[in-house]
Amino acid sequence: MSLFLDNAATSYPKPETVYRAIDAAMREIGVAPGRGGYRQSLTAARTVFETRSTLADFFGVPDSSRLVFTHSATESLNIAVSGLLKPGDHVVTTSMEHNALVRPLHLLRGRGVEVTFVQADREGRVSEREIAAAMRPGTRLVAVTHCSNVSGTIQPVGEIGKVARQGGAVFLVDAAQSAGYLPIDVIELGIDLLAAPGHKGLFGPPGTGILAIGEGIELEPLLVGGTGGNASSLEQPEILPERFESGTLNTPALAGLKAGVDFIRETGLEVIRAKEKLLVGMLLEGLSAMEEAVIYGPRGNDHGGAVSFNLGGRDASEVAFLLDAEYGIAVRAGLHCAPEAHRTLGSYPGGTVRVSPGFFNTEEDIAFFLQSLAGLARS
């Protein structure tokens, strides 16, 4: 059995309750929600409603109908930027963003949207003052990642949210690496649009995501089609969440997502965060003690779950391959779909080895990883 340390990509394993919820929804419900008045379909619709309500409460979304389900944070970000921005609009973002945001913005640049990338410092941080300096009177959107998938750098989203609001801009947060690990309340943090995946820190299955849309924010849908309601009209429904949920929702996956969030609440977000800090702290301390290791990103306690490093002059992909082949340790190497972040951190073009422990990893796992890496360094 391999040691999995790539939880920034997807959390594994999931809580046992997640597996059971998915299996039960497949076996005992097994039909589409909102596509019939019979009991099974109504049960499926109830499952979706309960999942939506659970997630809305978890993120402080006052109206659960404004939390829509997607297949990923990538889809959520595409809906947010493509549905909001028009030619001539101005966007402020950062050099630490994932391609899930950068590529949609690049596409829109070709259609007349102006984009300003605020350069982060060598540890990947951007301050609210730098965001404010980049804004213009007509800035339409400020879009930032809460926590870097490369370096684990946590951005001050609360302060950035205040700056965005003062400047009259919509505030979009990519919570791919923070949802389920850091407390997020959209009202307290001033977030207008929150994008998050289900399969990482929320412990749900792949193919799940959410987009929370603040009051007064109007977006054009990315996908149109059947929604189970308003079938007589050729127009996409205006009402939420149906406006952004064309096609049949994956009820079993959403049942698993609810079970994942229930697990977080029962365990305690503060307990999960404390475990992450403990394991990341062990990683940083152990890597810092290795002469051959070069760490990228912050070294302090305020750190997300991803730690990036290189081992001397060795190729990152070679190190990751050998960790897997010789020790059964799964990590990720490369640019992690965030080339601008690597340019910022000084690890471009070779990328880094990324280690990202999860809640079900142990201190013994981290000790074994560090011991194995030391063995590679000596070879």
Domains of the chain: 3-12+269-378 (3.90.1150.10), 16-266 (3.40.640.10)
Which parts of the chain register pLDDT below 50?
A: none
The confidence score (pLDDT) of residue 48 equals 97
Decide if 216 contacts 76 (C-beta within 8 A).
no
The confidence score (pLDDT) of residue 301 equals 78
Given the residues 269, 294, 330, 337, the one annotated as active site: 337
Residue 360 has phi, psi (to 5 degrees) of -90, 0
Amino acid at 103: R
Sheet containing 332-334: order of strands? 293-296, 307-311, 352-355, 332-334
- Look up tokens 């609440």; give the residue: 265
The confidence score (pLDDT) of residue 1 equals 61
Distances (CA, A) of 190 to 160, 161, 171, 244: 9, 5, 7, 22
Q: Which of 305, 268, 314 is nearest to 58 (CA)?
A: 268
Decide if 332 contacts 12 (C-beta within 8 A).
no
Say whether 147 is catalytic: no
The confidence score (pLDDT) of residue 34 equals 80
Helix residue ranges, H only, the chain? 16-24, 39-58, 73-84, 99-109, 128-134, 157-166, 251-267, 269-288, 316-327, 339-345, 363-378
Distance CA 361, CA 295 (A): 21
Decide if 195 contacts 73 (C-beta within 8 A).
yes
Distance CA 227, CA 246 (A): 5
The confidence score (pLDDT) of residue 76 equals 98
The confidence score (pLDDT) of residue 285 equals 97
Task: For the beta carbon of residue 123, count every other beta carbon within 10 angstroms.
Answer: 17
Q: Is the pTM of this model over 0.85?
A: yes
